[in-house]
C-alpha cells in the first residue's frame, strides 16, 4: 500500500495525555487516547509502546509501510461507508483508492483510571462527525504467575448501534478484495527486527493461520533491543476470524468481517472480550497453549439488545 499522506488533512487536537498501565511496579504500556494525527491515519486511541516485563517493545506505531497502523487498537475499515482504519479504502472493481471517507474514534470521557485498569467511553464518528456507534471500553493489565516472565492485557468493549440505524461493518474482502485481507477489529501491529512467525493450536505460518477460527494464536518476534518475545491472543468471537501477517509486516488480530459483512442492528450491541499474553522469549506450542487456556476470556456474545 502507498504511504502517501497529505497536509490538506488536519491532525486532531491531541489534548489528552497518554495513560499508563503498570504491573508489579513496571510500566508495561502507554495508552494514547487523543492522538494528534492526520485524518487519513484513522485517529483513534491506541496502545504504544507496549513492553514485556523485561522491557522489550512489542508494538509499532506509524510505521513507514502502513502509517495508519497504530500499536494495538480497535478499528474497522468500513463502518457504514466510513473508513475508521486509515489509509486508502478498497473499492470494488477499482482497488485501493484515496477517498475523503475517514472518520475518527474519539475518547469522550473516563469511567475509571488506575495503575492496572483503564475504562472509558468513546464515539465512532463518520467524516462529518456524526456518531455511528458508541462504545464502552475497559483495558486491564494482569500479572501472570508461573515460570514464564509474562503479563496479560485484557480488552473488553461493547459497541452500541443507535436506536434508529443499523450499522454495517465491512472489510476490504467484503468490498471485493480477493486475497483474504478481511482485516478490521482488534488489531496488534507488532514490531520485529527479524522475520516474525505465527502459529496456533494446530497450524503454523501466515497462510495456515490467517482466516482460521483456532482457539488461540501466537506471534513471536524480535524487539528493537534484539530480544525475543511472544504474544498469545485469545477471545475470538462468534463469526470472527484471525487475521495474521508475517511476510509483509508483523501483525495479528481479531477480524470482525473477514469473509462477509456484519451488522449491528439498530438498538443492539456487540461485545468483544480478548486477552493478550505478553511474554519474554520464544514460547513453544505447549507453553503457549497453557497460557492461552489460563487467559481465555470466553467468546464474545455477538449482537444483543442494549
3-7, 93-97, 149-153: least confidently modelled range:
3-7
What is residue 241's three-state secondary structure? strand
Q: What is the pLDDT of residues 12-44, one digit of tens each?
A: 446 688 999 999 999 999 999 999 999 999 999
Percentage of the chain modeled with pLDDT above 90: 90
> Looking at the domain assignment, is residue 6 inside a domain?
no
CB 262 within 8 Å of CB 200: no
* Domain annotation covers residue 111: yes
Backbone φ and ψ of 165, nearest 5°: -150, 130
Task: Name which of 127, 120, 125 is nearest 105 in CA terms.
Answer: 125
Say if 9 falls within a structural domain.
no
Taking Cα atoms as reference points, which of 58, 121, 270, 93 lies closest to residue 185? 270
Mean pLDDT of 39-60: 98
Each residue's pLDDT tens digit, 83-121: 999 999 999 999 999 999 999 999 999 999 999 999 999
| 209, pLDDT greater than 70 | yes
Domain, as residue range, for 31:
19-305
State what percent of residues in the chain have pLDDT above 70: 92
Q: Does 131 score more than 80 pLDDT?
A: yes
116 lies in some domain: yes
Residues 97/107, Cβ–Cβ less than 8 Å: no
The DSSP H or E segment spanning 28 is strand 26-32
Give pLDDT, residue 2.
32
User: Within a domain: residue 13?
Assistant: no
pLDDT single digits (tens) 185-204: 999 999 999 999 999 999 99
How much is the mean pLDDT over the chain?
93
pLDDT value for 302 = 56
Q: Is the residue at 108 inside a domain? A: yes
- H or E stretch at 232: strand 228-234
Q: Say how many CA atoms lie within 13 Å of 44 toward its Cβ.
A: 34
Q: Please tell me the predicted confidence (pLDDT) of residue 297.
A: 74
Contacts of 268 (CB under 8 A, 6+ apart): 160, 161, 303, 304, 305, 306
CA–CA dist 117, 214 (Å, integer): 28
Name the E strands within 76-130.
78-79, 89-91, 95-97, 104-113, 117-125
Domain count, the chain: 1
C-alpha span between 281 and 47 (Å, rounded): 21
Look up cell 489534548; give the residue.
15
pLDDT value of residue 296: 76
Q: Quick check: 164 and 152 in contact, CB under 8 A?
A: no
pLDDT tens column, 255-300:
999 999 999 999 999 999 999 999 999 999 999 999 999 987 765 5
Q: How far apart are CA 252 and CA 123, in angstroms?
A: 24
C-alpha distances (whole Å) from 225 to each of 88, 216, 229, 236 are: 32, 27, 11, 31
Q: What is the pLDDT of residue 218?
A: 98
Residue 212 near residue 228, CB atoms below 8 Å: no
What residues contact residue 159 under an 8 Å CB cut-off, 6+ apart? 124, 133, 134, 135, 264, 269, 270, 271, 272
pLDDT of 132 > 60? The answer is yes
Residue for cell digits 475504562?
119
CA distances from 25 to 21, 47, 277 (A): 10, 18, 18
Q: State if pTM tops 0.75.
A: yes
Amino acid at each position: 500500500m502507498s504511504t502517501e499522506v497529505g497536509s490538506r488533512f488536519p491532525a486532531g487536537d491531541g489534548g489528552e495525555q497518554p495513560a499508563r498501565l503498570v504491573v508489579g511496579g513496571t510500566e508495561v504500556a502507554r495508552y494514547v487516547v487523543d492522538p494528534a494525527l492526520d485524518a487519513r491515519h484513522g485517529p483513534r486511541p491506541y496502545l504504544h509502546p507496549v513492553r514485556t516485563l523485561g522491557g522489550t517493545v512489542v508494538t509499532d506505531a506509524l510505521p513507514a509501510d502502513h502509517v495508519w497502523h497504530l500499536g494495538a487498537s480497535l478499528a474497522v475499515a468500513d463502518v457504514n461507508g466510513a473508513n475508521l482504519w486509515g489509509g486508502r479504502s478498497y473499492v470494488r472493481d477499482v482497488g485501493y483508492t484515496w477517498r475523503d471517507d475517514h472518520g475518527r474514534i474519539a475518547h469522550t470521557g473516563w469511567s475509571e483510571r488506575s495503575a492496572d485498569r483503564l475504562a472509558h467511553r468513546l464515539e465512532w464518528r463518520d467524516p462529518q462527525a456524526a456518531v455511528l456507534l458508541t462504545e464502552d471500553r475497559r483495558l486491564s493489565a494482569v500479572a501472570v504467575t508461573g515460570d514464564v516472565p509474562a503479563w496479560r492485557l485484557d480488552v473488553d468493549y461493547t459497541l452500541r448501534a443507535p436506536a434508529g440505524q443499523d450499522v454495517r461493518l465491512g472489510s476490504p474482502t467484503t468490498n471485493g478484495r480477493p486475497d483474504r485481507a478481511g482485516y478490521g477489529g482488534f488489531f496488534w501491529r507488532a514490531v520485529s527486527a527479524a522475520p516474525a512467525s505465527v502459529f496456533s493450536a494446530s497450524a503454523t505460518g501466515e497462510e495456515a493461520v490467517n482466516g482460521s477460527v483456532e482457539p488461540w494464536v501466537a506471534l513471536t518476534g524480535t524487539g528493537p533491543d534484539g530480544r525475543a518475545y511472544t504474544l498469545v491472543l485469545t477471545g475470538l468471537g462468534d463469526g470472527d476470524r484471525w487475521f495474521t501477517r508475517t511476510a509483509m509486516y508483523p501483525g495479528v488480530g481479531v477480524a470482525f468481517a473477514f469473509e462477509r459483512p456484519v451488522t449491528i442492528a439498530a438498538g443492539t450491541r456487540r461485545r468483544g472480550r480478548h486477552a493478550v499474553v505478553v511474554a519474554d522469549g520464544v514460547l513453544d506450542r505447549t507453553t503457549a497453549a497453557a497460557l492461552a487456556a489460563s487467559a481465555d476470556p470466553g467468546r464474545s456474545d455477538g449482537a444483543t439488545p442494549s
